[in-house]
Chain A
Amino acid sequence: MPLWLFVFLAALAVLAALGVVLQRNPVHCLMALVVVLLDLAVMFIGLGAVTVGFLQAIVYVGAIMVLFLFVIWLLNLQTEERRVAGSIGLRFFGAVGAAALVAELCVFVVKAPSTAGLSHVPPTFGSIGAIAEALFTDYLIAFEATSLLLLVAVIGAVALARRATASRTRSPVPVSPAVHEQIGARQ
């Protein structure tokens, strides 16, 4: 990836990330987050991790962010009001945390290892074949354990949703048998 492209993408990512934090309308924040994620996907592709880049676009932008949009609509979130910030203690700990994070980043940048001695990655790096081979040989157990975890989460979500609907069918308002018959006849 040429340097000018990296600088452009990095600046765009930072701007969009600021947009996520600073805007007040939740849908605008979400769209800024979509820009950040797409920006990262382009960076992955530019750095040779083509498959990871596309998967980032499919999974995060194409699916997860749409679910976020759903949640915003279902909860009917409005533009947040700018209130006076919380207690002094909260502000103090916030400042300390932010300072610690900045210090950590500075240490990381200063102590970053030099790239001089590193060899180039093989041309197959980042191709879907190389990723699949790594996933299904060296990292097979981790991969399968993760799939199991996700499967459990999916089944759990379905079970929770089912229980909620089952309890709702016992309607709190008594319904006369005649109405039940009518509904049954219509179905």
Chain B
Amino acid sequence: MAVDLVIAAIRAVVMLLLVLNLSAILLWFERKGSALIQDRIGANRAAILGVGARLGLPNLGIVNTLLADPIKMFTKEDFVPAGADHFLHGLAPFLALFPVLVTFAVIPIGDTVTIGAHTFDLVAADFNDAALYVLASIGIGVYGIALGGWASNNRWALLGGIRASAQMISYEIAMGLAIVAVVATYGTLSLQAIVREQGGVWFGWLPRWGIILQPIAFLLLFTAGMAESKRVPFDLPESESELVAGYFTEYSGGKQAVFMLTDFAEVALVAMLVTTFFFGGWQVPWLYRDGFHLPGGALVSIPYWAVVVLGVVAFWIKTIFFCWLQILIRWTLPRFRYDQLMRFGWKLLVPIGLLNLIVTAVVVVMAGS
């Protein structure tokens, strides 16, 4: 019993630390990546004793973004504007971060592991209604942003908060429709079960990934997910050319850092959801519990622990690929206008999602009978 509790705690803490570290690395990745895309040098300060420069290597600015920036932010003055709602102003960043972080609890990062007498899946919490849990926690995430904008007693911030809540509510519907279509395809709400369903191959070589059954749902979920994370081209809530910085105009120091962390955690969340629903999660093509069954019929057998490790590595590679894709899109596209944003969400994504769901339902019923 006690051992089970310890294992559960370790699973939760490991997942949390992985996500927080990934978010921090994404911050560096975005700064350096955007510099590359825009033909700038980007972060290149705060080298340790100039080690890289002495060896003739370019300074990648890792110390700069991962150590110097956080220290600067958390030692800055925590400014609260006059007339602001102190309680909600302080609460809002954490109200934004918390729902995102708890969502990672249901994302499976690996297959079943057995240590001694204890067998468990590599997921912090696996239960039957996990897909509903994802939708619920994403829905609750609106409050932190909206209240952050309202509590600042600043018109730019309030406008940003209103835009954010309107946008997130609108795109949640498209997101929900995409997830429901996937759930209808696999007949389960548990993310681990959905990943297991994506094991194996068709025609002897094609991995049974969700993207092949539900390509439209993938586009919907990825687009709506990017809108949920409020990044370019959907960054109207903060659009710095109109609203100063939108909902976090009046935030500084640590609280601003928490909002930024939320941003990158959401990028990681969208990448993981897409990976889990459409790209087989921790499934490696042609890899089964006893080893690789290559398309030609050859069998390369490897021990089970190596299979598990390969699965975890595959999950992270896919996740990082989709994080990279989101950063690339962010630095490539211009921002939507507000009416375009609403028309795109309500008149394009929602009808496509409904049609996709109807077709999925008909096919599922016909295949079942």
CB distance from A37 to the nearest CB of B (A): 10
Contacts of B140 in A (CB 8 A): 38, 57, 61-62
Interface pick from A3-11, A47-55, A173-181? A47-55
Cβ-based interface call for A69 (8 A): yes
Taking a contact as CB atoms under 8 Å apart, the answer to whether A66 and B142 are in contact is: yes
**Of A28, A31, A62, A67, which contacts B139 at CB under 8 A?**
A62
CB distance from B142 to the nearest CB of A (A): 5
Taking a contact as CB atoms under 8 Å apart, the answer to whether A57 and B165 are in contact is: no
Q: How large is the interface on B (under 10, 10 to 19, 20 to 34, 35 or more residues)?
A: 20 to 34
Taking a contact as CB atoms under 8 Å apart, the answer to whether B139 and A61 are in contact is: yes
Q: How far is the CA of A70 from the CA of B162 in the complex (A)?
A: 7
Taking a contact as CB atoms under 8 Å apart, the answer to whether B147 and A31 are in contact is: yes
Q: How far is the CA of A70 from the CA of B147 in the complex (A)?
A: 11
- Closest residue of B by beta carbon distance from A25: B85
CB distance from B194 to the nearest CB of A (A): 14
Residue total for A at the interface (Cβ-Cβ under 8 A):
23
Q: Which secondary structure characterizes the binding site on chain A? A: helix
CB distance from A115 to the nearest CB of B (A): 26
A128 with B139: in contact, given A66-B165, A69-B146 (CB under 8 Å)?
no
Cβ-based interface call for A17 (8 A): no
**Of B85, B127, B143, B162, which contacts A34 at CB under 8 A?**
B143
Taking a contact as CB atoms under 8 Å apart, the answer to whether B88 and A63 are in contact is: no
Taking a contact as CB atoms under 8 Å apart, the answer to whether A27 and B172 are in contact is: no
Q: How far is the CA of A127 from the CA of B128 in the complex (A)?
A: 8
Contacts of B142 in A (CB 8 A): 62, 66
Q: How far is the CA of A89 from the CA of B35 in the complex (A)?
A: 72
Interface pick from B12-20, B129-137, B314-322? B129-137
Q: How far is the CA of A38 from the CA of B158 in the complex (A)?
A: 25
Q: Which secondary structure characterizes the binding site on chain B? A: helix
Cβ-based interface call for A58 (8 A): yes
Chain A 104-138, CB-CB to B under 8 Å as 1, else 0, gives 00000000000000000000000110000000000
- Closest residue of A by beta carbon distance from B172: A62
CB distance from B303 to the nearest CB of A (A): 37
A51 with B139: in contact, given A62-B172, A63-B169 (CB under 8 Å)?
no
CB distance from B54 to the nearest CB of A (A): 54
Taking a contact as CB atoms under 8 Å apart, the answer to whether A66 and B132 are in contact is: no
Cβ-based interface call for A73 (8 A): yes
Interface residues of B in 157-198 (CB under 8 A from A): 158, 162, 165-166, 169, 172, 189
Taking a contact as CB atoms under 8 Å apart, the answer to whether B136 and A73 are in contact is: no
Taking a contact as CB atoms under 8 Å apart, the answer to whether B146 and A128 are in contact is: no
Taking a contact as CB atoms under 8 Å apart, the answer to whether A31 and B88 are in contact is: yes
A50 with B165: in contact, given A31-B147, A57-B140, A58-B136 (CB under 8 Å)?
no
Contacts of B166 in A (CB 8 A): 70
Contacts of B146 in A (CB 8 A): 66, 69
- Closest residue of A by beta carbon distance from B158: A73
CB distance from A81 to the nearest CB of B (A): 18
Contacts of B88 in A (CB 8 A): 27-28, 31
Taking a contact as CB atoms under 8 Å apart, the answer to whether A128 and B129 are in contact is: yes
Taking a contact as CB atoms under 8 Å apart, the answer to whether B136 and A57 are in contact is: yes
Q: How far is the CA of A41 from the CA of B169 in the complex (A)?
A: 20
Q: How far is the CA of A28 from the CA of B166 in the complex (A)?
A: 20
Taking a contact as CB atoms under 8 Å apart, the answer to whether A63 and B150 are in contact is: no
List 14 other contacts, CB 8 Å, given A27-B88, A31-B88, A57-B136: A34-B143, A54-B132, A55-B132, A57-B137, A57-B139, A57-B140, A58-B132, A62-B139, A63-B139, A63-B169, A66-B142, A70-B166, A73-B158, A127-B128
Q: Chain A interface (Cβ within 8 Å of chain B)?
A: 25, 27-28, 31, 34, 38, 41, 50-51, 54-55, 57-58, 61-63, 66-67, 69-70, 73, 127-128
Top-3 shortest CB links A-B = A62-B139, A54-B132, A57-B136
